[in-house]
């Protein structure tokens, strides 16, 4: 039986690993490192789809707050601010 993992492109595997590490570590530095990795490894369409589906996983109010923060506020460590 062939594993689907053999057919997943390396850039997608790297993105999956980076998202997994960020979720596991769950701290500002881990999450803040993702935009650079995502931009380097995924197309704009793929990043948009990921962002869209992540927002869809949230309730409406939280999704609006997250979208507003991503688009309107500078990235900073809320724990340090």
- Note the pLDDT of residue 74: 72
78: in domain? no
2: in domain? no
- Note the pLDDT of residue 5: 83
Q: What's the rounded mean pLDDT across residues 61-76? A: 88
77: in domain? no
42: in domain? yes
26: in domain? yes
Q: How confident is the model at residue 34 (pLDDT cuts 50, 70, 90)?
A: very high
* Burial 15-38, CB ≥16 within 10 A → b, else e: beebbeebeeeeeeeeeeeeeebb
Mean pLDDT value across the chain: 91
- Domain containing 14 equals 9-72
Give how many domains the chain has, as a whole number. Answer: 1
pLDDT tens figures, 21-33: 999 999 999 999 9
79: in domain? no
* Most confident stretch, 4-8, 13-17, 72-76: 13-17
């Amino acid at each position: 039986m062939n594993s689907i993992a053999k057919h997943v492109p390396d850039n997608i595997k790297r993105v999956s690993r980076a998202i997994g590490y960020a979720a596991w570590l769950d701290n500002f530095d881990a999450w803040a490192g993702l935009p650079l990795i995502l931009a380097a490894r995924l197309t704009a369409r793929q990043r948009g789809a990921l962002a869209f589906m992540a927002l869809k996983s949230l309730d409406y109010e939280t999704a609006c707050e997250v979208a507003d923060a991503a688009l309107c506020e500078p990235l900073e460590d809320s724990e340090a601010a």
